[in-house]
């Protein structure tokens, strides 16, 4: 049986990854400090004999005997990582060092959750892996972008200097159930706003381009990447189907059948105007491309948030004081 460590395993992507790895017959150790993750995300696997949860901060070294490591611990929502900028950089960089040291010590293969943010406000579109990026090194997003870029440098050097078996996935915008209703990313924000008939907050004029990958597709790609030996350089994983933020807003409103008006707000600084992956390398090396359409994936995500919101109403109707139970992350987290 393969024993696998997933850092950030109580988060949005990490929790689906843990589930899939257990379903495939592996033993999973999840290490998470619950900064943006929640026990609700891993509720379904908490009772499994193949699952172990360690409350741990990756900024601190960890020793567990494992065969594989997926390093996913890091806040990913711009609103959340910018709330704790120094903590974010430390998580990205010290987390990478600590997990690479562990991989080296126990001889594990290690996969890094990198990001399309390494390309910054790209001057090439769509972005191939060969592009070095255009990142503002001192801007509001730098804590995350530069932290993840440094992590990529570390992954490359641990491979070259120490022979550690590293893999790097450059993940583009991924969405699905278990994102937090209040995490600030565009998909959960628009869905919750539409379901509650509140204004849909479009930042800027809504012409910025993103491409959205459903979480199940991403997890397929991650597991394939861990398995192959030939991918020594970073590889893009994401949807190649582009969508403007304005079209995303219209699609969500239509699917929900909402009465929400649109409200335009200022564009946050360094918000990349165009981001879409070139996934030819993933197609060639992993035989991977996303299968779930945006409407299908949004439909599943909308149903999830409908349940979350109706449960919250139910809780309030039963008189539970708000904050008595914490199903969602504590944004006042201050362990920077």
Active site residues per annotation: 144
115 binds, among ligand NAD, ligand UDP, none (CB under 5 to 8 A by kind): ligand NAD
Q: Which of 286, 300, 99 is nearest to 212 (CA)?
A: 300
Q: Which of 247, 235, 237, 240 is nearest to 276 (CA)?
A: 240
Contact status: 34 vs ligand NAD (CB under 6 A): yes
Closer residue to ligand UDP (CB): 29 or 186: 186
CA 324, 329, 334 angle in degrees (round to 5)? 105
Closer residue to ligand NAD (CB): 57 or 109: 57
- The nearest distance, CB 163 to ligand UDP, in angstroms, is 33
- The nearest distance, CB 81 to ligand UDP, in angstroms, is 9
Closer residue to ligand NAD (CB): 175 or 260: 175
Among 154, 186, 235, 253, the residue binding ligand UDP under the rule CB under 6 A is 186
Contact status: 189 vs ligand UDP (CB under 6 A): yes
Which parts of 58-117 interact with ligand UDP (CB under 6 A)?
Answer: 78
Cα torsion angle, 90, 189, 191, 274, sign: negative
Output the DSSP codes for 247-298: HHHHHHHHHHT--PPEEEEPPPTT--SB--B--HHHHHHH-----S-HHHHH
Contact status: 170 vs ligand UDP (CB under 6 A): no
Check residue 107 and report its DSSP letter. Answer: T
Q: How far apart are CA 210 and CA 191, in angstroms?
A: 16
Tokens found for residue 3 = 């024993």
Among 181, 268, 299, 327, the residue binding ligand UDP under the rule CB under 6 A is 268
Q: How far apart are CA 247 and CA 178, in angstroms?
A: 23
Site string for ligand UDP, 237-256 (x = CB under 6 A): --------x-----------
Closer residue to ligand NAD (CB): 27 or 152: 152
Q: Are strands 209-211 and 242-244 parallel, antiparallel or unpaired?
A: antiparallel
- By the criterion CB under 6 A, which residues form the site for ligand NAD? 7-8, 10-14, 32-37, 57-59, 72-76, 91, 95, 113, 115, 171, 173-174
């Amino acid at each position: 049986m393969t024993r696998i460590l997933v850092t950030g395993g109580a988060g949005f992507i990490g929790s689906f990854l843990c589930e899939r790895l257990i379903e495939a017959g592996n033993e999973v150790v999840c290490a998470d400090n619950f900064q943006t993750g929640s026990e609700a995300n891993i509720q379904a696997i908490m009772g499994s004999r193949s699952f172990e949860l360690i409350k741990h901060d990756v900024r601190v070294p960890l020793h567990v005997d494992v065969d594989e490591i997926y390093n996913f611990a890091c806040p990913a929502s711009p609103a959340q990582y910018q709330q704790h900028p120094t903590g974010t950089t430390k998580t990205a960089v010290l987390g990478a060092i600590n997990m690479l040291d562990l991989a080296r010590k126990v001889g594990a293969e290690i996969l890094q959750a990198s990001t399309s943010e390494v390309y910054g406000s790209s001057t090439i579109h769509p972005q191939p892996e060969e592009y070095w990026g255009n990142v503002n090194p001192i801007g509001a997003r730098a804590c995350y972008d530069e932290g993840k870029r440094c992590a990529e440098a570390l992954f490359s050097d641990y491979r070259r200097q120490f022979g550690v078996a590293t893999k790097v996935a450059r993940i583009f915008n991924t969405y699905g159930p278990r994102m937090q209703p209040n995490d600030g990313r565009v998909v959960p924000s628009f869905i919750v706003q539409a379901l509650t008939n509140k204004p849909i907050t479009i930042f800027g004029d809504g012409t910025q381009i993103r491409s959205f990958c459903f979480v199940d597709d991403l997890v397929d790609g991650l597991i394939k990447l861990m398995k192959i030996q030939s991918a020594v350089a970073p590889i893009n994983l994401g949807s190649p189907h582009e969508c403007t933020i304005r079209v995303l807003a219209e699609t969500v409103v239509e699917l929900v059948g909402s009465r929400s008006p649109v409200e335009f707000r200022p564009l946050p600084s360094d918000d990349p105007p165009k981001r879409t992956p070139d996934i030819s390398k993933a197609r060639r090396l992993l035989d991977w491309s996303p299968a779930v359409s945006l409407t299908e994936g949004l439909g599943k995500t909308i149903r999830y948030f409908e349940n979350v919101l109706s449960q919250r109403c139910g809780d309030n109707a039963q008189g539970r004081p708000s904050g008595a139970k914490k199903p969602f992350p504590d944004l006042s987290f201050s362990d920077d």
